[in-house]
Amino acid sequence: MDYQGNNFNDFFQTNGHFVLKRVDNNYKLRSFTEKEIEHITDRYSTSLGNGSFGDVYKGRLDDQRPVAVKRYKNGTKKEEFAKEVIVHSQINHKNVVRLLGCCTEENALMIVMEFICNGNLYNILHCGNADGPIPFPLDKRLDIAIESAEALSCMHSMYSPVLHGDIKPANILLDEKYLPKLSDFGIARLLSTDEAQRTKTVIGCIGYVDPLFCQSGILTTKSDVYSFGVVLLEMITRKKATDGATSLTQCFAEALGGKKVRQLFDVEIANDKKKVKLIEDIAKLAATCLKLEDKMRPTMVEVADRLRRIRKALPQRKGESSTGINNGLIRTGKAIVAKVSHVTWWHETIHIAGAYVRVTVCGRAA
């Protein structure tokens, strides 16, 4: 990693040497001063959210690029901050929020990231508008699931594999084209050569944490697979991972045992026999991700591959838009834009052998 400035370099050598010695990639990060970030954020005037770590603000660089600034609470351990920055900076993938730089001044620890404008998957799934739930067709759910799985697959396959450790819908952001971007690497880990890491502290979010990790204290890439299985359940049921004392994984297990799993499916997408069969395939995939025996769980490479096969089998009737409705389509040359409520889904079309073929931008062919 190429850090700019002696003080910047010294900070990471002092507080992150144990991680630095295990990284392979070399990405440049910009060093920001506290005054520069005050200017960028207009003195922290626009809040994007907050959490146990601190607050997130919207800002704008001198070239007018919008950014998100994560400002850590005073008292944050420098070693934990350095680890997050170093681990995040190793990942160069279109479906991971890009880290641009950070501030390492005393009592002013902050990171600067690209700004992702359309909220997160949790909001789409569970926060409706005045008209009810936000329309969310099955093909779009699959597209988001596939690209998220591919990002995790890439992270797990790196020279120094990266375990995210906190996969959940709230950490899957959606950009202007509603492509997913994994975020929040606060508890991410670089895995050892044996692809496992022991920790004394249980980390992650209730409802998504691998129960095997809770028992053993050992983190592996299969811990992310378990969490992703919960996300798949949320995407096909539109139910929260935990809702009061109710656990989605427990409800799912009981439904599988009683062969009543179809009753859990979101009625918006379970509207014909063909789709129900494909949703059942997603449910079966989720079930394998949720197996208690981690060796029985698939890898994220296998998860992404199975999701792509399901996506390919998804029927699309002639004359029907990718959103399942016929109004609100705008044709603009090589692009088709479908507007649903305030949500915009975007696809690229390419001309091959006399026909227009639909592909997902920056992704794999649908």
**Model pLDDT for residues 168-215, shown as the tens digit of each residue:** 999 999 999 999 999 998 878 776 544 555 554 556 678 898 988 888
pLDDT at 16: 67
pLDDT at 187: 78
Task: Assess if residue 328 is contained within a domain.
Answer: no
Task: Assess if residue 355 is contained within a domain.
Answer: no
pLDDT at 196: 56
Closest CA to 125 of 42, 27, 45, 237: 237
- Main-chain phi, psi angles of 294, to 5 degrees: -65, -30
Domain boundary among 96, 114, 132: 114
Same domain, 254 and 162: yes
Same domain, 37 and 127: no
Same domain, 93 and 126: no
> At 17, which CATH number?
3.30.200.20
Of the chain, the end-to-end C-alpha distance in Å amounts to 35
CB 224 within 8 A of CB 217: no
Selecting among 166, 184, 224, 294, the annotated active-site residue is 166
Strand partners, 182: 96, 172
Same domain, 159 and 20: no
Same domain, 150 and 277: yes
- For the residues 259-277, what does the mean pLDDT come to? 92
> pLDDT grade, residue 117 (50/70/90)?
very high
Where do the DSSP E strands lie in the chain?
2-3, 28-31, 47-51, 54-60, 66-72, 99-105, 108-114, 162-163, 172-174, 180-182, 189-190, 197-198, 218-219, 242-243, 246-247, 329-332, 335-340, 343-352, 355-359
Would you say residue 333 has pLDDT above 60?
no
Same domain, 105 and 129: no
Tell me, yes or no, if 63 is annotated catalytic. Answer: no
Task: Assess if residue 332 is contained within a domain.
Answer: no
Q: Which residues are annotated as a binding site for ATP?
A: 70
- For the residues 4-29, what does the mean pLDDT come to? 64
Higher pLDDT, 124 or 29: 124
Distance of alpha carbon 39 from alpha carbon 126, whole angstroms: 35
Same domain, 106 and 154: no
Helices (H), ranges, 197-337: 211-216, 221-237, 248-257, 273-289, 300-313
Domain boundary among 71, 94, 114: 114
29-43, 100-114, 194-208, 280-294: least confidently modelled range: 194-208
- Main-chain phi, psi angles of 66, to 5 degrees: -75, 145
pLDDT at 201: 54
Q: Are strands 66-72 and 2-3 parallel, antiparallel or unpaired?
A: unpaired
CA 162 to chain centre: 14
Closest CA to 304 of 218, 224, 185, 186: 224
Enter the pTM of the model.
Answer: 0.81
For residue 186, count other CB atoms closer than 10 A to its CB: 22
Q: Measured between alpha carbons, how far is residue 304 from residues 38, 118, 171, 229, 286 in Å?
A: 41, 23, 18, 12, 12
Higher pLDDT, 332 or 170: 170
Q: How many residues does the chain have?
A: 366
Consecutive H or E run containing 89: helix 78-89
Would you say residue 328 has pLDDT above 70?
no
Higher pLDDT, 352 or 300: 300
Task: Assess if residue 326 is contained within a domain.
Answer: no
Task: Assess if residue 268 is contained within a domain.
Answer: yes
Q: In the predicted model, what is the mean pLDDT of the chain?
A: 81
Domain count, the chain: 2
pLDDT at 18: 54
Higher pLDDT, 61 or 207: 61
Same domain, 245 and 169: yes
Domain boundary among 114, 143, 170: 114
Distance of alpha carbon 140 from alpha carbon 321, whole angstroms: 12
pLDDT at 1: 52
Which residues constitute the domain of residue 197?
A: 121-313
Phi-psi domain of 100 (left: phi exceeds 0; alpha: psi -120 through 50; beta: other): alpha
Same domain, 44 and 155: no
> At 220, which CATH number?
1.10.510.10
> pLDDT grade, residue 317 (50/70/90)?
very low
Would you say residue 353 has pLDDT above 50?
no
The 10s digit of each residue's pLDDT in 72-111 is 998 888 888 888 888 898 899 999 999 999 999 999 999 9
Same domain, 236 and 296: yes
